Amino acid sequence: MAKEKIEAPKLTGKIETPRIQPGASLACQHHKANEQLLTGLGYPSSLVENWQEKAIAKMGELLNKYKSLKLYLDICVRCGACADKCQFYLGTGDPKNTPVGRQELFRKVYRRYFTPAGKLLGNLAGAEDFTEEVLKEWYVYFHHCSQCRRCCVACPYGIDTAEISMAAREIMHSIGLGTKYVDEIILKVFNFGNNLGMQPKAIKNSLDFCEDEMKEAYEEKGIMDIDVKIPMDVEGAEVLLVVPSADFFASPHIESLLGYAKVFYQAGISWTLSSYASEAGNFGMFIGSYDGMQKVASRIGQAVRDLKVKRLVIGECGHAYRIAYSFWNTLIGPFDTLDKRYPIPQHICEFTYDLIKRGALRLDKEANDEFVVTYHDSCNIARATRMGDMPGGQFEIPRSIIKACCNKFVDMPQETIRENTFCCGGGAGLLTDEMMDIRIKGAMPRMQALKQVIDSHGVNFFALICAICKAQFTKIFPAYGLSMDMVGGVHQLVSRAIVLGAKE
């Protein structure tokens, strides 16, 4: 744990743009990945001798592989429209935590080695040698980006800092520089199939425990004939559900797992989890590794074939759904064996919402009457995916589910939700203890927006559909003087409201 207590910003309900404080968050940096992790992932074991040369070569390679990278390095005019949009700048005031400031760290090296002006004029053209000093800043600031794309909304050209920070991380890995937190997790998926390194037996135990809990809870209410199962590795099931592994045991994640199980139970659709593909998350994206991302995703393709399922559904996880929705078809598609009448893959919210619309679920809103609920749009889902057929379904569908399960729902201010939503402050590899300073500060804008609806409407339930958001906020709320019990999943609300059993 962090030794000194980090002072959280005061909750005033207002999001103010700070004056710049150069270097304000320079000290907050990740533990580096060790030799074992790096070699395990196929990277050099430590910073290579000729790292500068290697890094520049890698940069050249990526410039020819990603249109986004080449284009976005060229066309930024530094208008500054993005600068006050990043939660990490708003929270820290560090100008290198503005999207454009962050990009410039990359761009100045790009100019020096890949543009005529930079080669000829050097500093005058805004170019800089790739020195050790610059590399240090890369390591800090490119790991302060949560790849949330809020800057991309603001940019007149759609420049996406996520594309640049991914490339920077890939370049750093190619010379033997990675973060312990993310690399450890990727290696665990390679070896065990999930981010937590859980063995199938441990997962099974946890699922059995959940089944017992549900059974007991119903029995306490005098309902004896309800036995909700959480099946694993059932060949021939209709649906394969892939959830973030935190759902197997972490709180409040597990409450949503119960919600999924009850929805399947009530819908009467056979389903299964997979012990081989026991992780929806895919940290390969965070380090910009196409191959890594593909390798992690390939477990899901394998499970689809092995278990002979017809449908593929994703649990509550933000970046996982981005990868599933946007990338799986490219990475591990085409999914020829799956039923084409359903979206491939489908989000659990789409799945549940579809059942609600068809009247297949009975929901008792009063079960959630103790809550005044607000909903935080997870960045990856809001700005990199869609639910349903209509653009913006990713905003409407989760809200519709909540409203079907609760009487009291209120949105946070418009400029902080939907496509303008903030990152929780823990995305893309920030969710580790040594980064607590920037996590707390990066959460500031979201916390201020929440404070507004707490004051005006008495909000006491903060609904999420992302495992990282859930882990981040349960940790961050206490720092802001709020109870972590407010944090929960959308399917947690479903779980409480759903009435199981035969229809009357």
Which residue, 102 or 496, is less far from another protein as judged by CB? Answer: 102
Structure-token pair, residue 322: 């981005």
What single-letter DSSP state applies at residue 74?
H
Token pair of 61 as six digits: 């390679």
504 CB neighbour count, 10 Å cutoff: 5
Q: DSSP for 111-124?
A: HHHH-HHHHHHGGG
Q: Cβ closer to another protein: 271 or 325?
A: 325
Strand order in the sheet with 461-464: 373-375, 461-464, 487-489
Q: What 3-state DSSP class applies to 498?
A: strand
Q: How far is the CB of 415 from another protein (least distance, A)?
A: 10
Provide, rounded to whole angstroms, the least separation between the CB of residue 455 and another protein: 27
Structure tokens at 448: 């201020």
**Cβ closer to another protein: 50 or 414?**
414
CB of 45 to another protein, least distance (A): 23
DSSP 484-495: GGGEEEHHHHHH
Nearer to another protein, 2 or 79 (CB): 79
What's the min distance (Å) between Cβ of 466 and another protein? 16
Strand partners, 498: 363
Minimum distance of another protein from residue 394's CB (angstroms): 7
Tally Cβ neighbours within 10 Å of residue 159: 23
Using the minimum distance from each CB to another protein, give the nearer residue, 104 or 316.
104
Which structure tokens are listed for 56? 């520049």
Orientation angle between helical segments 67-75 and 51-65, nearest 10 degrees: 100
What DSSP line would sit under 173-193, residue for residue?
HHTT--BHHHHHHHHHHHHHS
Nearer CB in complex with another protein: 60/236: 60
Output phi, psi for 131, to 5 deg. Answer: -90, 170
> Is the separation of the CB atoms in 498 and 259 below 8 Å?
yes
| CA distances from residue 198 to 6, 16, 38, 202, 392 in whole angstroms, order as listed | 32, 42, 21, 6, 35
Nearer to another protein, 150 or 491 (CB): 150
For the CB of residue 103, give the shortest distance to another protein in the complex, in Å: 9
> Please, which residue, 94 or 184, has the CB nearer to another protein?
94
Q: What pairs with residue 273 in β-bridges?
A: 232
Pairwise CA distance, residues 194 & 190, whole Å: 8
Instruction: Tell me the sheet residues that pair with 241.
Output: 313
CB-based contacts of 341, cutoff 8 Å, min separation 6: none
Token pair 């454009």: residue: 100
Give dist(CA 130, CA 155) in Å, integer.
27
CB-based burial label for 166 (10 Å; 0-12, 13-18, 19+):
buried
Residue 382 or 438: the one with the smaller Cβ distance to another protein is 382
Residue closest to 286 by CA, chosen among 481, 407, 432: 432
State in angstroms the smallest separation of the CB of 412 from another protein: 18
How wide is the angle at C-alpha 469 spanned by C-alphas 464 and 473, nearest 5°? 100
Shortest gap between Cβ of 496 and another protein (angstroms)? 30
Q: How far is the CB of 52 from another protein (least distance, A)?
A: 22
Query: Which of these, 382, 166, 189, lies nearest to 297 by C-alpha position?
Result: 189
| Residue nearer to another protein on the CB measure, 12 or 123 | 123
Q: C-beta of 5: minimal distance to another protein in Å?
A: 29
Beta carbon nearer to another protein, 81 or 484? 81
Closest contact distance (angstroms) between CB of 96 and another protein is: 9
Q: In the bound complex, what is the minimum distance in angstroms from residue 409's beta carbon to another protein?
A: 21
- Residue 62 vs 363, nearer CB to another protein: 62
CA dist 54 → 49, 58, 108, 224, 431 (Å): 9, 6, 17, 66, 29
